[in-house]
């Protein structure tokens, strides 16, 4: 359904809160998200994460951080739609000085992300990486579809809150294209503000460790390359080999765009400030059909959060920027509101 038709519909009805359905055209580019996405049972262990953290190392180590790698499984649930959310405003005719209502209308989709690691390792070994089945992330939030009053074409947004004490607003654009996603082939997790010479720079010893000894989690196949710090998207692209992808919806959001940003509690700002986030979701419609005769759905994402801590070591002012990168490949396992328990519809 065209955006103009959805906008006209939103203007002509009252705000509407209800369980979300897959394929609801009012959601625009978000319409394939409602339901439950999981790694298990068919894509177990496709979630991978890399993060550098401040750490008091032994004297003489030459660095005070550890690099942690996680392999994980995820449950990502999209459950509640809020239609016709009005942002009130006016516009002024410059020639006549007259004003008229110029409201923006937004459609939102609630989500909740839950992540448990199935394997973890860090270097230096801190004893803090934790066991299998340890919850490592929980995030409630909203995806926004902005129907109008978007002069820069920013039609999607993501609001997120993280228990560490972070609040996120990221803005961006959506697109729908035939075929598989265009996943960048070189996204490095190496810090910015440090010489990138992994072989010759002892400060990067933790990264060299996981390049020389790739983190493979619970994967025992000797041919498996592992999750590499300097090539973090290799496993995303590998997950698409042999998969026939008919169509891809891309949602790209960035906290550095327009009024986006991240607000953190004071401790986080002092120790490892989450300064920015870029996130791309690729929602894939497969050629393969599900039991209802509809295309099977997969979801891949790449998320890069930059953490700022410790003074730069390249002679420039400011702090080192440490990429905290997460990737995953999941499939839709529950497509309808009947399989997601939420409250009945409410109008106001």
CATH of the domain at 20: 2.40.128.20
How high is the pLDDT of residue 92? 83
Mean pLDDT of 13-30: 93
Choose among 134, 131, 141: nearest CA to 169: 141
**SS3 state of residue 77:** strand
Confidence category of residue 132, pLDDT binned at 50, 70, 90 = very high
Reading the block at residue 128, the tokens are 């803090």
Sign, CA dihedral 327-144-156-7, equals positive
pLDDT at 338 over 50: no
95 located within any domain? no
CA distances from 293 to 40, 288, 314 (A): 22, 9, 57
CA end-to-end span of the chain: 24
Determine contact, residues 260/171, Cβ cutoff 8 Å: yes
96 located within any domain? no
Confidence category of residue 179, pLDDT binned at 50, 70, 90 = very high
210 located within any domain? yes
**Whole domain around residue 254: which residue ranges?**
3-85+101-347
pLDDT at 340 over 70: no
Q: Please state the separation of Cα 55 from the chain's center in Å.
A: 26
Q: Point out which residues pair with 175 in neighbouring strands.
A: 250
93 located within any domain? no
Reading the block at residue 127, the tokens are 């004893």
Choose among 191, 161, 157: nearest CA to 29: 157
90 located within any domain? no
Residue 187 φ/ψ, nearest 5 degrees:
-120, 105
Distance between CA 220 and CA 216 in Å, rounded? Answer: 8
How high is the pLDDT of residue 346? 52
Confidence category of residue 12, pLDDT binned at 50, 70, 90 = confident
pLDDT at 345 over 70: no
Number of domains the chain is built from = 1
92 located within any domain? no
CB-based contacts of 132: which residues, under 8 Å, 6+ apart?
117, 118, 119
The residue assigned the tokens 């920027």 is 321
H or E element that contains 81: strand 65-87
Choose among 27, 10, 39: nearest CA to 110: 27
Mean pLDDT of 145-164: 96
Question: What does the pLDDT look like over 293-309, one tens digit per residue?
Answer: 999 999 999 999 999 99
pLDDT at 342 over 50: no
Distance between CA 206 and CA 198 in Å, rounded? Answer: 9
211 located within any domain? yes
pLDDT at 347 over 60: no
Determine contact, residues 102/242, Cβ cutoff 8 Å: no
300 located within any domain? yes
């Amino acid at each position: 359904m065209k955006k103009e038709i959805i906008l006209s519909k939103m203007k002509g009805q009252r705000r509407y809160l209800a369980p979300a359905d897959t394929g609801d055209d009012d959601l625009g580019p978000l319409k394939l998200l409602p339901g439950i996405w999981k790694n298990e049972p068919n894509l177990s262990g496709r979630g991978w994460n890399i993060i550098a953290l401040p750490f008091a190392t032994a004297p003489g180590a030459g660095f005070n951080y550890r690099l942690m790698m996680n392999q994980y499984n995820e449950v990502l649930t999209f459950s509640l739609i809020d239609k016709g959310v009005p942002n009130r405003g006016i516009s002024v005719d410059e020639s006549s000085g007259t004003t008229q209502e110029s409201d923006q209308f937004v459609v939102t989709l609630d989500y909740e992300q839950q992540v448990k690691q199935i394997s973890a390792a860090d270097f230096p070994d801190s004893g803090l990486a934790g066991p299998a089945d340890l919850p490592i992330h929980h995030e409630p939030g909203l995806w926004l579809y902005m129907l109008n009053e978007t002069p820069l074409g920013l039609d999607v947004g993501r609001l997120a809150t993280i228990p560490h004490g972070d609040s996120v607003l990221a803005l961006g654009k959506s697109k729908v294209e035939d075929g598989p996603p265009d996943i960048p082939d070189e996204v490095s997790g190496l810090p910015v503000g440090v010489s990138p010479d992994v072989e010759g720079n002892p400060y990067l010893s933790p990264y060299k460790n996981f390049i020389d000894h790739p983190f493979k989690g619970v994967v025992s196949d000797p041919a498996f390359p592992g999750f590499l710090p300097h090539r973090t998207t290799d496993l995303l692209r590998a997950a698409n080999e042999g998969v026939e992808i008919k169509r891809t919806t891309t949602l790209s959001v960035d906290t550095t765009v327009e009024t986006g940003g991240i607000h953190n509690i004071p401790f986080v700002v002092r120790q490892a400030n989450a300064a920015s986030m870029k996130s791309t979701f690729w929602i894939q419609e497969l050629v393969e059909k599900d039991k209802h005769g509809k295309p099977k759905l997969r979801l891949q994402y790449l998320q890069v959060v930059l953490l700022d801590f410790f003074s730069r070591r390249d002679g420039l002012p400011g702090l080192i920027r440490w990429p905290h990168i997460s990737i995953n490949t999941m499939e839709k396992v529950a497509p309808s509101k009947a399989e997601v328990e939420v409250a009945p519809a409410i109008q106001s």
